[in-house]
């Protein structure tokens, strides 16, 4: 039994989530693993229990289904051992906006926005009351890039970034750390699941390197961690420009350029 916080990881059956599970097990944390594929979760749990002697619960759930999401929310709300949420489960899209069916749109938004938000909302009050804990939301650089023409997926990831920055301002004073992690192309199944050939990508990061970098940001309590961004000053400049824009708003009258 560890004295460290238990970590609940969504999307833990493969890819970035499975890597987070391994890294936190290596750090001695007990785990709760959430995804739809029970068999893959059980196999990962068995290996990590054996290798790292930590307690691991498997909680199969389809986060697009109300009853399953309710169950994971309840676990986050009621299990006081859980002090870290890795809000990772997500899916991507292929094709342009007009090629997305209504079902595609609902599934993308339900998993990438509704589930992420509801799980954060489930754990946040308890962490704030305790004055400690962390919520890690996995966004994407695509959320900064309308040029990529993954308009709905990118919009869901822009939402995750904004949500994380807002929660960081609301919860950091209460002792709760909120981190947005923005990967770029990373070698996981998300591409095949979205019907995209990963071999068409020019550069791809391995999930181990991605998560190790994200955990450096986590350990530094960095609010926004962008492992593939080598020139950090670009993010700093973007944030400065955003704040300058806000400071320059004069809401009483329209700008001169808009006056007839």
Ligand X SMILES: N[C@@H](C=O)C(=O)O
Look at residue 3 and give its three-state secondary structure.
coil
> Residues 122-151 vs ligand X: string with x where CB under 6 A?
------------------x-x---------
Residue 16 binding result from ligand X, ligand NDP, none, given CB thresholds of 5 to 8 Å by partner type = ligand NDP
Residue 69 binding result from ligand NDP, ligand X, none, given CB thresholds of 5 to 8 Å by partner type = none
**Which residue in 251, 226, 246, 228 sits closest to 236, CA to CA?**
226
What is the rounded distance in angstroms from the CA atom of residue 191 to the CA atom of residue 198?
A: 6
* Nearer of residues 18 and 82 to ligand NDP, judged by Cβ: 18
Residue 185 interacting with ligand X (CB under 6 A): yes
What is the rounded distance in angstroms from the CA atom of residue 214 to the CA atom of residue 184?
A: 12
CB 49 within 8 A of CB 37: no
Which position has the token pair 């190790």?
Answer: 212
What is the rounded distance in angstroms from the CA atom of residue 197 to the CA atom of residue 203?
A: 13
What is the rounded distance in angstroms from the CA atom of residue 258 to the CA atom of residue 260?
A: 6
- Among the listed ranges 166-174, 182-190, 221-229, 247-255, the one in contact with ligand X (CB under 6 A) is 182-190
Q: How many CB atoms lie within 10 A of CB 180?
A: 27
Q: Please name the residues in contact with 98: beta carbons below 8 A apart, sequence gap of 6 or more.
A: none
Residue 243 interacting with ligand NDP (CB under 6 A): no
- Among the listed ranges 10-18, 51-59, 119-127, 169-177, the one in contact with ligand NDP (CB under 6 A) is 10-18
Active site residue 153: yes
**Cα–Cα–Cα angle for 11, 187, 57, nearest 5°?**
25
Q: Contact with ligand NDP (CB under 6 A): which of 25, 31, 32, 35?
A: 35
* Strand spans (E) along 145-237: 177-181, 224-225
Q: Is the dihedral of CA 189, 190, 196, 200 positive or negative?
A: negative
Restricting to residues 186-245, name those near ligand X by CB under 6 A: 190, 194
Q: Contact with ligand NDP (CB under 6 A): which of 6, 22, 82, 88?
A: 88
Nearest-approach distance from CB 106 to ligand NDP, in angstroms: 12
Q: Contact with ligand NDP (CB under 6 A): which of 111, 124, 150, 211?
A: 111
- Among the listed ranges 8-16, 65-73, 163-171, 183-191, the one in contact with ligand X (CB under 6 A) is 183-191
Look at residue 33 and give its three-state secondary structure.
strand
Nearest-approach distance from CB 10 to ligand X, in angstroms: 15
Residues found near ligand X in the complex (CB under 6 A)? 92, 140, 142, 184-185, 190, 194
Active site residues: 153
Residues found near ligand NDP in the complex (CB under 6 A)? 11-17, 35-37, 40, 61-64, 88-92, 111, 138, 140, 183, 185-186, 188-190, 193
């Amino acid at each position: 039994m560890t004295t460290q916080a238990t970590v609940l990881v969504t999307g833990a059956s493969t890819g970035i989530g499975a890597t987070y599970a391994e890294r936190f097990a290596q750090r001695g944390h007990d785990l709760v693993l959430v995804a739809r594929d029970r068999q893959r979760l059980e196999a990962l749990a068995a290996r990590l229990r054996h290798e790292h002697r930590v307690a691991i619960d498997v909680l199969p759930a389809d986060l697009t289904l109300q009853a399953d999401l309710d169950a994971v929310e309840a676990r986050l709300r009621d299990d006081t051992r859980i002090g870290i949420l890795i809000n990772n489960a997500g899916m991507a899209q292929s094709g342009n906006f007009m090629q997305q069916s209504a079902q595609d749109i609902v599934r993308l938004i339900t998993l990438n926005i509704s589930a992420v938000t509801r799980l954060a909302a489930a754990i946040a009050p308890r962490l704030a009351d305790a004055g400690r804990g962390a919520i890690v939301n996995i966004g994407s650089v695509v959320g900064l890039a309308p040029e990529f023409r993954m308009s709905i997926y990118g919009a869901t990831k822009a939402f995750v970034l904004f949500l994380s920055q807002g929660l960081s301002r609301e919860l950091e004073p209460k002792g709760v750390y909120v981190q947005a992690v923005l990967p770029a192309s990373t070698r996981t199944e998300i591409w095949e699941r979205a019907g995209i050939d990963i071999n068409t990508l020019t550069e791809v990061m391995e999930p181990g390197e991605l998560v190790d970098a994200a955990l450096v940001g986590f350990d530094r309590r960095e609010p926004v961690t962008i492992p593939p961004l080598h020139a950090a000053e670009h993010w700093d400049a973007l944030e400065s420009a955003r704040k300058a824009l806000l400071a320059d708003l004069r809401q009483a009258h329209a700008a001169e350029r808009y006056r007839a």
